[in-house]
Structure 1
Amino acid sequence: MPKKNSLTARRALALLLAYLTLCICGGVVVSLMVMPAVFGANNMAKALSPSLTVEGIDFDVTSLPQKSTLYASDGKTVIASFYAQNREVVPIKNISVYMQRAVVAREDRRFFEHAGVDVQGVMRAFVKTYVAKGDTQGGSSLTQQYVKNVLMVKAREDDDPIAEYHASEDTVARKLREMLIAVQMEKKYSKYEILQGYLNIAQFGSGSLYGVEAAAKRYFNTNAADLTVVQAATIAAITKNPEKYDPSIEANQKTAEEQRNIVLDLMLQEKFISQAQHDEAKATPLKDTLNIQSVQQGCQVAGDAAFFCSYVTNQILNSKEFGKTAQARQKLLNEGGLEIYTTMDVNANNAAMKAARDTIPPNDPTGFEVTIAAIKPGTGEVLGFGLNRTYDATDAAKTDPTRTSINYAVDQKDGGGIGFNVGSTWKPINMVAWMMQGHSITESLRTYTRYANSSFNCAKFAGKGTWSLHNSEGGTTSPETPLQGLIKSHNTTQASMAQVIGLCSIADAAKTLGYHNAILGQEDVYSANSFNPPMIIGSVQASPLTMANVYATLGANGVECTPIAIKKVIKQNGKKLKVPSANCHQAIAPEIAQTTAYALNQGVLKGEAKAAQLDNNRKTFAKTGTNEQTYMLTAGFVPNTVAAFVAVGNAETQGDFSGKTINGVTHSTWYGMYIASPAWKEFMNTYLAAINAPNDDSYGTLAGQYAK
């Protein structure tokens, strides 16, 4: 608890002597100029609230910007860290006594004696600087240094370079401001609370390395609580010049060792360590004590989890739960010290990345992307992504086609691309719409190769002209049932179904299942670019995650969820933040989901999706797709376990597969079953084996009313 003291004579004397010293330094004219400021500031200091807030700045020793950490679904695997300042705040009880003593010896040996302003130190600095005309001396107490650091942090948070300049300028006004606040600080906080604040806020290295805990991990791969004499002296030496004394920089190590030894001498002088401890530490070469750890941050260093990391950060920046503005959300991520527990399953993400690269190596001459998205049915939990690319948000990606920061598995608003034409993987949506209108999948339909667009009319569509289409093998099969039309993936049967129920019914069913377009601003399936008859054979542009979610609804007995990437977020104080909800709900009747699943399984057993059959004779629910010769696709699920979607093709422009050789295989005409299905199968088999998923063949039964 903070220690409340009265303004003792010692503090009053300290303030007065500090003022007199400043007057001498600045001359009589300056004295007259700052006299009103002294008394005004002193009155303000006396009227400070218990939180010690001055000019809107909180000097609370426990409130500092901290890095946020992203975890996988296991709650242990760290995906990435985010920070404006790399800092982990720790209580004084978790900081080595040697570290406490080292910084006091180095920075303020009378710290436990003065009242916030070290008068002797100020006088000494004055004499050396202005009388002896030597190097500029600071004379600042640890409390003053803490105040200065808080002012600097606040200025950076506010992106205020003028305030940052005034917080560090070498002027009488700045020193006076620090002294006044320092005296008041010592009214509210104990010495050890102030020391804790300083050790957590000070810069202990080049770049953005702040606080003793981060420094301990950076230089020695240890915790602040376990710092030894030699380690503590090394860290304490850095604050005088973080860029010059940073021991992780090889060119600095000789100077860093010299500075460390100075700290050891000061610790001995203050009797903080014994002669034996001093001699042993001083005789130890600095380089032999180091165990340098990387301090790189963000998705750039998240390895194969980087694309998932990018998705999570975009979810945070786009979600009002984390702040009213994108700027506020970014600040919370970088400074809020959040523990963010995501839905990423390490096994799923690893399996997806491997399957993508196995299917088409990153440096393949075709340049085609392989993109995989996986989600857990009935939960909305995104399990992982696979891309045959290396995540890279630097300029290097501009000239290296194997690198990108775009996650092609997600929507544009989430850092993705414009989506893929999904081809025949759309067709189960038509079947759901068919049954939602009360029809059976065994009804016989006349099919054609030319349809009047007006025959698809509904409330939001009025077509003109004609639409010509055929099945992949040419022509049409007539009559045919919707069940056979899905098993054989016949286009003409889809058109006949749309004639009967109207285009709006299919669009509505798609939205019910969780579908939307990938392009920013054109997400609604009713948008002009997507709402037309070719939609029913997959001419829309969707992200793999969206399509995986549609299949997840089919694999969860009709329960649709909004994809989520975050399970929970815990603030520094242990409280949980509200996170985006999956909003799981019964979207379609279980009988419709089961019947559609039955049809998908029949497509694997008897139709176009045979290449997707999973290992161990597991009952498989999958659908292949081919969009002309531009995209190869496969989608499917294991009930209540995982749904996945694979897209293969050029994610930026529509490349042509015709006659291409990929991984040593050449086809004059490519189909999804040739390349997307094996990728889907590899991912599913690897992931299911990793989690030891049981084989349940009970799912996917015909419901009587839809099979008459």
Structure 2
Amino acid sequence: MARGRGRTGRDEPNFDVPEGRVASPGSLDLRLSRDDRAGGGVAAKRGTDGQAQRGRGGAVPPGRRSAPAPRKATKRRGSFLARLTYACVVLGLWAVIGLAGLVAYHASQLPPIDQLAVPKRPPNIAILASDGSLLANRGETGGRVVGIKELPPYLPRAFVAIEDRRFYSHLGVDPVGIARAVAQNLTRRGVAQGGSTLTQQLAKNLFLTPERSASRKIQEAILALWLEHKYSKDEILELYLNRVYFGAGAYGVEAAAQRYFGKPAKSVSLAEAAMLGGLVQAPSRLAPNRNLPAAQARAAQVLAAMQDLGFAKPQDVKVALAQPARPASSRGGGSANYVADLVMDVLDDYVPKFDTDIVVQTTVDTGLQAAAEKALVDELNAKGGRYNVGQGALVSMRPDGAIRALIGGRDYAQSQFNRATTAKRQPGSSFKPFVYLAAVERGATPDTVREDAPIRIGNWQPENYSHQYEGAVTLRNALALSLNTVAVRLGQEVGPKAVVQTAQRLGITSPLQANGSIALGTSEVTPLEMVGAYGAFANGGTGVIPYVVTSVKSTDGKPLYKRGEGGLGRVIEPNAAGMMNAMMHETFVIGTAKKGDIPGWDLAGKTGTSQDFRDAWFIGYSGNLVTGVWLGNDDGEPTKKASGGNLPVEIWKTYMMVALKGQPPVPLPGMNRWRKGPEPTATVAAAGGPVGGILGTILGETQPAPPPRQQTSQRQRGPSQDDRNFLEKLFGLGE
């Protein structure tokens, strides 16, 4: 091998050449062999012993190199990982591009971001009683908007704890929460937890339909990011609390608190807050008024989450678990809803348009409303089955027309039909005061005498309830005893048209048929009309228009409506009103409402029963309150002899005893001038006639002797069945 050195003394590169050859610049082969290339050497031949063949002495043949086997394997592995990494990066880029395109597509289906705005919440109508307490909410939401600062701190925290514990740290979409939800759902049966944030839920409620799809979830996430950009966390939480659905038509936490606990949201306890927080997961399944055990179990989960996050003290949680929340009971489905329905029926007359929450002040007294409901429902529960009476209604108002209580049915939850304002039924004898007033206005007085005897008008021959006749009788007694023949005679004297006009003048608005039978109340009217018309008697002759709304305001106090002076003006002359009050007072003294008398009070009124006992009425009043009761069946099925003098009078008295308690008696206008003077008392047996004999024999009571009267040929001697029927009538079992 020849070597050479450079001038600098450094070793110069040299190349070995095969023996027998002379190295020359032209003979050097500098090309890479196959073994010198990447991946080379794989074709090296091996001997029979498995060792690669080499040159003499084990040397590598000239011009060849061989890479050790381990080095070749490392290169192969490295190149595979590189290709895999490269493929993943490419696929990731394509996935990002595809996702971006998908997001862009779904974003294009939404309104432009610069045009997005939180839609206005449908206005709520808060209907208040006369004392300012809440009777009901109306509108699409069922409750007013509340500010988050109005609420106890634990109420919004309950929702954060159970629905979105990372609410204050994420940007609207929570990848950690989604991962946690996926992990928990994989370890449990069914879907245990969702991954939507409160912001996403709000976005869905505000802008999207409730459908479940990937498209909607993408839009939900986009809108959640927009909400987080535009509003603070507390503003988002406040929007959520006022929009989320709690079931039973309640949207928002205020509506839910009123619906389930009968109190405003600011007054709920920790246990109640936890129940509300857990309710939004499944409002129908977890509603406490439908599935209380499930609602309480869910509330316990909320309390545990609140304690875990430090949102509630352990001792407070312990108390809440020991005393779990329960829904407020609402007797009869909440009769105040009948009042609320009436308010909504008339509200357009006062405030045609509004787009914000409003507050409606009413005339209704919550204590009287509760007393009226209890009186009606208790009576029907006790005796409704015996008398085959399924429904009832009660209206009570001041003599100026202000409604103090209104019951439209036995159970609002079972039937929302308002029988007090909408059901038109025959009033029977309770219509007779309009006939007598028409006669008084044409010269009759309470002491005017008319004949109680059979009468025929064409083919029609009306009869008294007792099928007996009293002969000559004063109008005072004829009205108190509800004698049909006298009412018909008076109707014929003044003319059916005059009777209709008189009733309409006092406020009856339903169509009335001007025929002979109008004197017996055969044209249909509503309880509200009848009570309103009787108000003119109670106040001394001024016609009233029943009303329930006194004012309407916005939630910030801006007045939208205030009731002024109203009414129909004078519709009865004071003297005529005094005579009518004196005659109807006798209904409580000797007539069909004797059992309804309240000691110490001047009272007046009239019972009524329609044909075949289908409808039973009593409308009575003092100088400060007019109350009417109707009982019957919605399908017009006859009752089992329920008449104005039994169940309605009993309901009326039960209610009026509460309504008048503690108040000084108020005289009836003009009645004293025409009050029946004291008469000598005698035993009932001496009162004359077989009926008096029966009463004296059975009861041994005394009562004022009736005025002399002429006996007719139809009057029977001795205790007959007709006399017994008349006895039932006097004790309130008939007219």
CA distance in 1, matches of 2:627, 2:260: 42
Counterpart among 208, 211, 222 of residue 179 in structure 1: 222
- Find out whether 1:600 has 2:643 as its counterpart: no
- Give the TM-score of the pair, scaled to structure 2: 0.62
**Residue of structure 1 in register with 2:537 after alignment:** 554
State which of 320, 324, 330 in structure 2 corresponds to 1:291: 324
What SS does the aligned partner of 1:75 have?
A: coil
AA in 2 matched with 1:375: S
Amino acid at match of 1:422: G
Per the alignment, do residues 407 and 317 of structure 1 end up closer, same or farther by CA in structure 2, a change over 3 Å counting? closer
Distance 2:181 2:483 in 1: 91
Which residue number in structure 2 is paired with residue 499 of structure 1? 492
For 2:506, the equivalent position in structure 1 comes to 513
Deviations 1:410-446 (A, max 9, x none): 24xx3x4x424422x2221012223445666666667
2:205 maps to a residue whose letter is: N
The answer to whether the 8 A contact 1:604-1:611 is kept is yes
User: In structure 2, what residue type is equivalent to 1:179?
Assistant: I
User: Which among 604, 614, 627 is matched to residue 597 of structure 2?
Assistant: 614
Structure 1 distance, partners of 2:247, 2:101, is 40
Instruction: Please name the residue that 1:623 is paired with.
Output: 606
Q: 1:318 to 1:441 in 2, by over 3 A?
A: same
Are the equivalent residues in 1 in contact too, given 2:335–2:373 (CA < 8 A)?
no
Map 1:393-412; keep pairs closer than 5 Å: 393-394=413-414, 408=419, 410-411=420-421
Encode CA deviations 1:314-361: one digit per residue, 9 max, x unaligned. Answer: 55246534888xxx99xx9xx968566452452365157437745882
Write out aligned runs for 1:647-666 (5 A).
647=630, 652-653=635-636, 655=638, 657=640
What secondary structure sits across from 2:626 in the alignment? strand
Please report how far the alpha carbon of residue 177 of structure 1 lies from its aligned counterpart in structure 2 after TM superposition. Answer: 6.2
For 1:638, the equivalent position in structure 2 comes to 622
Quick one: which of 361, 379, 388 aligns to 2:400? 379
Number of equivalences: 575
Written as runs of structure 1 = structure 2, the 5 A alignment for 1:12-161 is 28=97, 31-32=100-101, 35=104, 44-46=112-114, 48=115, 53=117, 58-59=118-119, 64=121, 71-76=128-133, 79-80=135-136, 89-97=145-153, 121=174, 142-152=198-208
Question: In the alignment, is the contact (CA less than 8 A) between 2:271 and 2:324 conserved in 1?
Answer: no
Tell me what 2:519 maps to.
Answer: 536
The residue type equivalent to 2:621 in the other structure is F
Which amino acid letter does the alignment assign opposite residue 368 of structure 1?
V
Q: 1:361 aligns with which of 350, 364, 382?
A: 382
Shift of 1:88: 5.6
| Secondary structure, aligned partner of 1:595 | helix
In structure 2, the CA distance between the partners of 1:545 and 1:308, relative to structure 1 (3 Å rule), is farther
Contact 2:395 / 2:403 at 8 angstroms: preserved in 1?
A: yes
Report the secondary structure of 1:601's partner residue. Answer: helix
1:555 Cα shift?
Answer: 0.7
Give the secondary-structure state (helix, strand or coil) at the position aligned to 2:671.
Answer: coil
Secondary structure in 2 aligned to 1:375?
A: strand
Q: Is the 8 A contact 1:594 1:702 kept in 2?
A: yes
Gaps of 5+ in 2: 1-91, 675-735
Contact 1:645 1:680 in 2 (8 A): yes
Question: Aligned to 1:468, what secondary structure does the other structure show?
Answer: coil
Q: What is the SS of the residue equivalent to 2:388?
A: coil
The CA distance in 2 between the partners of 1:480 and 1:693, in whole Å, is 35
Report how far residue 533 of structure 1 moved: 0.5
1:700 alignment counterpart: 671
CA contact (8 A) 2:434 2:499 kept: yes
| SS, match of residue 591 in structure 1 | helix
Inter-partner Cα distance in structure 1 for 2:181 and 2:331: 53
Provide Cα deviations, 1:35-66, integer angstroms capped at 9, x if missing partner: 47757968x323x3xxx53xxxx34xxx5458
Contact 2:339–2:406 under 8 Å retained in 1:
no
What is the CA distance between 1:514 and its match in structure 2? 1.9
Q: What residue number does 2:237 align with?
A: 195
2:659 is aligned to: 687
Answering whether residue 419 of structure 2 is matched by residue 432 of structure 1, we say: no
The residue identity in structure 2 corresponding to 1:419 is R
User: 1:590 matched to which residue of 2?
Assistant: 574
- Following the alignment from structure 1 to structure 2, what is the Cα–Cα distance between the partners of residues 219 and 290? 16
1:562-608 Cα deviation digits (max 9, x unpaired): 33344445554545565999942223333322221122235554x53
2:425 corresponds in structure 1 to: 419
Paired with 1:243 and 1:656, the residues of 2 have a C-alpha distance of 39
Q: Is the 8 A contact 1:623 1:636 kept in 2?
A: yes
Any idea what SS the aligned residue of 1:622 has? strand
CA distance in 2, matches of 1:38, 1:697: 74
User: Would the alpha carbon gap of residues 240 and 407 (structure 1) be closer, same or farther in structure 2, given more than 3 Å must change?
Assistant: closer
State the Cα distance separating 1:233 from its structure 2 match.
8.4
| Cα RMSD, aligned residues only | 5.3
Per-residue CA shift, 1:529-580, capped at 9, x if unaligned?
A: xx32011122333344332222222111122223334444555454556599
Instruction: Give 3-state SS (helix, strand or coil) of 1:615's partner.
Output: coil
Amino acid aligned to 2:403 = V
Change (3 A) 1:545 1:259: closer
Match of 1:320 in 2: 348
3-state SS of the aligned residue for 1:545?
A: helix
TM-score, normalised to structure 1, is: 0.64
Look up the equivalent residue of 1:700 and give its one-letter code: M
Query: Counterparts in 2 of 1:220-231, with a 5 A limit?
Result: none
CA distance in 2, matches of 1:557, 1:170: 72
Provide the rounded CA distance (Å) in 2 between the counterparts of 1:536 and 1:208.
Answer: 47
Are 1:164 and 2:207 an aligned pair?
no
Distance 2:258 2:449 in 1: 70
Q: Distance in 2 between matches of 1:654 and 1:99?
A: 51
Deviations 1:147-194 (A, max 9, x none): 223225xxxxxxxxxx332xx5333x653465357436634x444323
Q: For structure 1, list consecutive stretches of 5 or more residues without a partner in the other structure.
A: 1-22, 153-162, 296-300, 395-403, 453-464, 517-522, 663-670, 704-708
Say if 2:398 and 2:625, in contact at 8 Å, map to a contact too.
yes
Q: Which amino acid aligns with 1:75?
A: G
8 Å Cα contact 1:80/1:302 also seen in 2: no
Give 1 or 2 for the bigger CA radius of gyration: 2
SS state at 1:635 partner: strand
- Inter-partner Cα distance in structure 1 for 2:298 and 2:650: 59
Decide whether aligned partners of structure 1 residues 186 and 450 sit closer, same or farther in structure 2, where only a CA change above 3 A counts. same
Q: C-alpha distance in 2, partners of 1:227/1:485?
A: 59
Q: 1:476 to 1:70 in 2, by over 3 A?
A: same
**Identity across aligned pairs (percent)?**
20
Corresponding residue number in structure 1 for 2:711: none
Question: Per the alignment, do residues 568 and 169 of structure 1 end up closer, same or farther by CA in structure 2, a change over 3 Å counting?
Answer: farther
CA distance in 1, matches of 2:284, 2:640: 54
